[in-house]
């Protein structure tokens, strides 16, 4: 009796098993056949499906076609024209290369291939029957190649039973079709479903292809991204912050025109948006990376959706900086419009498709000089004046009491008492009062919460708390990245008794607190003494602010799992910033706005809350019947 249990599988069973990795559903067949057509230098590609590809998938191209010998061998396993030896795997420039697609497809379907080369009088047809036997015929066919796949998985009923509904499978086919057409606008694509043309993309530009695939006005919601270098190039589009999605799946990443999925590069794009993204938000993007094929490896899985880089960190940093640079080149302040399309009631909503031009920052308050690097305008305040004013800004603010009448900024009253702790700051700023007021736009406070000011397109509204929070956040990040701490020494040191856990946390965070400007000494029994604080902390609130910073730090650590440096900067900014209800003078409001637009991201605070919105003048005209 033969006791051997290991045996070689018959070829037909081995092929069906191998097909399971390559052909997972009808969309897999569409992907492999389109990629073969692209490799054949086709200029026109037609895809025809019936019953969502379950009964028929046909891909017709006008590429180079195959000779009779090539046609006969192409259905064999590991037969490919794309590579010759192992070295070719190190620099793959074609979509197909494994030699598995056609043999795998033919193993699980009724397969027919017609091909004819340009210049040949006759072409070749190959088909199989229910038993898997192949037949070859000569004939006159259209130049190029046509592959028909009928009754997919007819001989593997278990796989067929796992297919989803026709609507679901067609959705996957359309997804593959779009991902093939998007990076190849110089090729015409058509998709037929049950004898109806559902997509007809002519040869066109990338911008035109984007409009055809997504929407006519899609480019108005996007920002162009482009950086071409000798080693790596990135070009494409990323969405404006107001055009964010609540679900994944709207990110299109192509490397050397091949659609891939890569969490690292996705994260590089996400992090470029910094705090513009709230939890659950995802930016729409279409990005094309061009990299030396020898620096990447896409031979990880038969689906070829995954990719590995020779130096992933360099790619990450490059993509991140390019996207961040692109976002910083546009004025991304969200505009509010009255919208009554979704409900009978009119309400304000964001205008996702407002047109903005690169490096156009004119639609900002005229007294803002923060864009001096972008527009060439000088700041109203010198660097010394800014430091002097801001170092005393917080502790000079008088919180408005409930019911208290607040002075109008243009009432002409002398505001000298505001600077009672920094007399020189008042004198310095007052010196510029007359010079700047004449050519400045109006600025007023609304309930000591919001700053209203005129801009070219209408009205700008700024949340004073989150605006100051953004300024302090970037200032804190700068302090944490340098070793030049500046603490304002207290006249009387403050003693603070903490519980053991908080005392230990302060000890752990001491290096960061020191860089921010705290001067702290530790004593026994969980006691610490505060000798100095950052200049931005309000006088008399030193111990409370430190405790609030610790609470905010723990909250961020628990809920957002922020990196220590980012967490410290965000926590400090949140608790040291001026509050809603704090009464600001006109000069302080102007300075706040000036400094806000000097930051790298003046649109959102470190928590993702909006800082600035615009209401266009025509929206007011609508309300007053001027349209």
Share of the chain above pLDDT 70, in %: 74
- Let me know: does 45 contact 59? Beta carbons within 8 Å: yes
Share of the chain above pLDDT 90, in %: 34
**88, pLDDT greater than 80:** no
The contacts of residue 554 (CB under 8 Å, 6+ apart) are: 505
- What average pLDDT does this structure show over 103-116? 90
312 backbone dihedrals φ, ψ, rounded to 5°? -65, -35
The model carries a pTM of 0.69
Q: How far apart are CA 253 and CA 296, in angstroms?
A: 15
In CATH terms, 214-328 corresponds, of 3.30.230.10, 3.30.50.10, 3.10.290.10, 2.30.110.10, to 3.30.230.10
pLDDT band (50, 70, 90) for residue 84 = very low
Spell out a b/e string for 517-538, using b for 16 or more CB atoms within 10 Å of the CB, else e.
Answer: bbbbeeeeebebebebbbbbbb
Q: What local confidence, expressed as pLDDT, does residue 21 receive? A: 54
Q: What local confidence, expressed as pLDDT, does residue 279 receive? A: 66
**249, pLDDT greater than 80:** no
Ranges in the chain annotated CATH 3.30.565.10: 11-204
Q: How far apart are CA 240 and CA 11, in angstroms?
A: 54
Q: Is the domain defined by 11-204 classed in CATH 3.40.250.10? A: no
- Which one has a higher pLDDT value, 147 or 410? 147
- Let me know: does 615 contact 453? Beta carbons within 8 Å: no
Kindly report, residue by residue over 307-325, the tens digit of the pLDDT.
Answer: 777 788 888 999 999 998 8
Q: How far apart are CA 49 and CA 28, in angstroms?
A: 13
Q: Are strands 450-455 and 443-446 parallel, antiparallel or unpaired?
A: antiparallel
What are the strands, taking DSSP E only, across 6-109?
44-50, 56-61
Residue 219, class by beta-carbon neighbours within 10 Å (0-12 exposed, 13-18 middle, 19+ buried)?
Answer: middle
**76, pLDDT greater than 60:** yes
Length of the chain: 627
Kindly report, residue by residue over 484-536, the tens digit of the pLDDT.
Answer: 778 888 888 989 899 999 999 999 999 999 999 999 999 988 899 999 999 88
- Let me know: does 370 contact 597? Beta carbons within 8 Å: yes
Q: How far apart are CA 211 and CA 226, in angstroms?
A: 19
pLDDT band (50, 70, 90) for residue 335 = confident
Ranges in the chain annotated CATH 3.30.230.10: 214-328
Q: What local confidence, expressed as pLDDT, does residue 292 receive? A: 85
How many CB atoms are located within 10 Å of the residue 182 CB?
23
Kindly report, residue by residue over 187-225, the tens digit of the pLDDT.
Answer: 999 999 998 999 999 999 999 999 999 989 888 888 899
Kindly report, residue by residue over 133-174, the tens digit of the pLDDT.
Answer: 889 999 999 999 999 999 998 888 878 888 889 999 999 999
Residue 369, class by beta-carbon neighbours within 10 Å (0-12 exposed, 13-18 middle, 19+ buried)?
Answer: middle
Q: How far apart are CA 152 and CA 57, in angstroms?
A: 9
Q: What local confidence, expressed as pLDDT, does residue 151 receive? A: 93
The contacts of residue 156 (CB under 8 Å, 6+ apart) are: 16, 108
Give the CA distances from residue 361 to residues 107, 241, 318, 617, in Å, rounded to whole numbers and listed in that order: 61, 17, 26, 17
Ranges in the chain annotated CATH 3.30.1540.20: 361-627
Least confident segment among 83-92, 294-303, 468-477, 497-506: 83-92
The contacts of residue 94 (CB under 8 Å, 6+ apart) are: 39, 82
Kindly report, residue by residue over 110-122, the tens digit of the pLDDT.
Answer: 999 999 998 888 9
- Topology of domain 361-627, per CATH? formyl-coa transferase, domain 3 (3.30.1540)
Q: How far apart are CA 16 and CA 237, in angstroms?
A: 41
Q: What local confidence, expressed as pLDDT, does residue 24 receive? A: 83
Helix (H, G, I), strand (E, B) or coil at 289: strand
pLDDT band (50, 70, 90) for residue 306 = confident
């Amino acid at each position: 009796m033969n006791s051997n249990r290991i045996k070689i599988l018959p070829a037909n069973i081995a092929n069906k098993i191998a097909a399971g990795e390559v052909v997972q559903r009808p969309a897999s067949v569409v992907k492999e056949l389109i990629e073969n057509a692209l490799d054949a230098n086709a200029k026109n590609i037609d895809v025809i499906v019936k019953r969502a590809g379950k009964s028929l998938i046909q891909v017709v191209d006008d590429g180079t076609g195959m000779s009779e010998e090539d046609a006969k061998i192409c259905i064999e396993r590991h037969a490919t024209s794309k590579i010759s030896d192992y070295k070719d795997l190190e620099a793959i420039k074609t979509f197909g290369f494994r030699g598995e697609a056609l043999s795998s497809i033919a193993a699980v379907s009724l397969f027919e291939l017609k091909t004819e080369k340009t210049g040949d009088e006759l072409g070749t047809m190959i088909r199989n029957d229910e038993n898997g036997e192949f037949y070859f015929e000569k004939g006159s066919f259209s130049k190029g190649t046509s592959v028909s796949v009928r009754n997919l998985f007819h001989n593997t009923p278990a796989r067929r039973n796992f297919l989803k509904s026709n609507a679901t499978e067609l959705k996957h086919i359309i997804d593959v079709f779009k991902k093939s057409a998007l990076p190849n606008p110089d090729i015409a694509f058509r998709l037929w479903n049950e004898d109806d043309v559902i997509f007809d993309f002519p040869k066109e530009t990338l911008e035109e292809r984007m409009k055809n695939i997504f929407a006519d006005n899609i480019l108005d919601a996007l920002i162009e991204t482009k950086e071409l270098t000798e080693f790596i190039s990135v070009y494409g589009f990323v969405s404006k912050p107001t055009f964010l999605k609540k679900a994944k799946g709207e990110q299109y990443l192509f490397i050397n025109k091949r659609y891939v999925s890569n969490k690292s590069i996705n994260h590089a794009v996400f992090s470029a948006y910094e705090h513009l993204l709230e939890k659950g938000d995802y930016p729409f993007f279409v990005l094309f990376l061009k990299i030396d094929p020898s620096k990447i490896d896409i031979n990880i899985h038969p689906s070829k959706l995954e990719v590995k880089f020779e130096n992933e960190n360099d790619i990450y940093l490059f993509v991140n900086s390019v996207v961040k640079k692109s976002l910083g080149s546009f004025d991304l302040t969200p505009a509010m419009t009255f919208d009554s399309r979704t409900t009978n009631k009119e309400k304000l909503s964001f205008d996702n498709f407002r047109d903005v031009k690169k490096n156009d920052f004119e639609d900002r308050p005229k007294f803002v000089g923060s864009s001096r690097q972008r527009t060439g305008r000088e700041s109203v305040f010198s660097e010394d004046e800014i430091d002097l004013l801001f170092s005393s800004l917080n502790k000079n603010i008088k919180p408005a009491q409930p019911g208290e009448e607040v002075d109008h900024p243009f009432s002409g009253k002398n505001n000298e008492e505001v600077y009672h702790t920094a007399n020189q700051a008042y004198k310095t700023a007052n010196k510029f009062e007359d010079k700047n007021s004449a050519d400045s736009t109006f600025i007023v406070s609304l309930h000591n919460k919001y700053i209203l000011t005129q801009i070219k397109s209408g009205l700008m509204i700024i949340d004073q708390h989150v605006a100051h929070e953004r300024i302090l956040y970037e200032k804190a990040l700068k302090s944490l990245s340098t070793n030049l701490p500046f603490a304002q020494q207290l006249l009387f040191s403050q003693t603070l008794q903490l519980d053991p856990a908080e005392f230990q946390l302060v000890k752990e965070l001491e290096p960061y607190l020191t860089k921010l400007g705290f001067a702290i000494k530790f004593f026994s029994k969980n006691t610490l003494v505060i000798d100095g604080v950052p200049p931005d902390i309000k006088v008399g609130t030193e111990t409370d602010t430190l405790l609030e910073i610790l609470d905010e730090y723990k909250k961020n650590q628990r809920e957002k799992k922020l990196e220590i440096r980012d967490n410290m900067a965000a926590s400090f900014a949140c608790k040291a910033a001026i509050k809603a209800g704090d009464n600001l003078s006109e000069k302080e409001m102007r300075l706040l706005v000036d400094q806000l637009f000097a930051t790298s991201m003046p649109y959102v605070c470190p928590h993702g809350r909006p800082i600035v919105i615009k209401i266009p003048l025509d929206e007011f005209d609508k309300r007053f019947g001027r349209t």
